Homo-oligomer: A and B are copies of this chain.
Amino acid sequence: MGRRVSIAEAAQLLRSHDKILILCHRSPDGDTLGSGYGLLHTLQALGKTARVDCADVIAERYSYMFPQEVSDFEPEYVVAVDVADPKLLGANEELWGDKVDLCIDHHGSNRDYAANLLLEADSAAACEVLYLVAKELGVEITPLIADCFYTGIATDTGCFRYSNTSVRTHRIAAELMELGCHFQKINQLMFETKSRSQLAVEAEAMATLEYHYSDRCAMITLTRDMVELNGASDDETEGLAALPRQIEGVWIGVTIKQMKDRTGYKFSLRSTEEADASAIAAKLGGGGHARAAGCSVKGDLLFARQAVLTAIAEHMGWEEEKVD
């Protein structure tokens, strides 16, 4: 159990240390990178030596956040940003997992592994918290720093669309725009650019769309061949899980994804209020939340499609449909 610290205390800890290593989580996203690089530039503005480290490769589209060379030094203070669990440090866990001096985070599930923890679980993004820390440190928030924090806020809220968006989120976005953040360029990079492989996989998966139960259920299938022959990464297929449920009139959306070892299929279930996705998943040994749940079966695709249709019929009290 670490010490819980306030924004002012976190700022004081940073002010009184130097040679600061900032750790991001593995599979780095806009929020951990925006937090890390926003803090880096803030500390450098205070004249400190600092660097960001991440166990995994950072996608090219984030490169506007780190225009400078990386400095090499022996760290004297270690800060983790947007990292709820030391496991999420990936390859950095062994080296630094039990040596984090300060963690700044917004996940209610934070494992409290750092010596000091600044946690604001009602923040939409860790970048909201880091922005408040940067303001507390009194440095001039440059357009580059504003770009970093805007990136994390925009990506973690789906550009202000998700329910985690708060009144404060919009107010901070307004301030970051006044500080000169390049919100238009960032929104275009984050929300209006798709890779060829992502597009190809999405198109192939959407072509498998099928409706059942008087169109209350929509289902798409993603095979390993679709992913691998298109050269897509597994992240690039994550958006597909939400798609079938978004269709007008659909109560239960199912995305069937073949397992990597091709021995069976995973189901992502999404539902409106009319159905309980977790109850359906439970019938196949899975679980989750009422609106989003998951489960899996071993076997071929025909078996998998029938298994989920049967579970849905049982849960809803509908007459079972047979797949062809």
A203 vs B173: C-alpha distance when bound (angstroms) = 34
Given A160-B173, A242-B192, A248-B196, CB of A207 within 8 Å of CB of B209: no
- Interface on A for B, CB 8 Å cutoff? 158-163, 165-168, 170-171, 173-174, 177-178, 183-184, 187, 191-196, 199, 202-203, 206-207, 209, 211, 215, 242, 246-249
| Pair A174/B170 contact, Cβ less than 8 Å | yes
A173: which B residues are within 8 A, CB to CB? 160, 170
Complex CA–CA separation, A196 to B206 (angstroms): 12
Given contacts A192-B242, A194-B246, A199-B209, contact A170 B167 (CB under 8 A): no
5 closest A-B pairs by CB = A170-B174, A163-B184, A203-B206, A170-B170, A160-B160
Contacts of A196 in B (CB 8 A): 211, 215, 247-249
Distance from A191 Cβ to chain B, minimum over Cβ atoms (Å): 6
A165 to B186 Cα, complex, angstroms: 13
**B163, A160: Cβ atoms closer than 8 Å:** no
A-B contact pairs, 9 of them (CB 8 A): A159-B161, A161-B192, A167-B174, A167-B177, A170-B177, A193-B247, A193-B248, A199-B206, A203-B203
Instruction: Tell me how far the C-beta of A170 lies from the nearest C-beta in chain B, rounded to whole angstroms.
Output: 4
Residues of B within 8 A of A171 (CB): 170-171, 174
Query: Do A166 and B177 touch (CB < 8 A)?
Result: yes
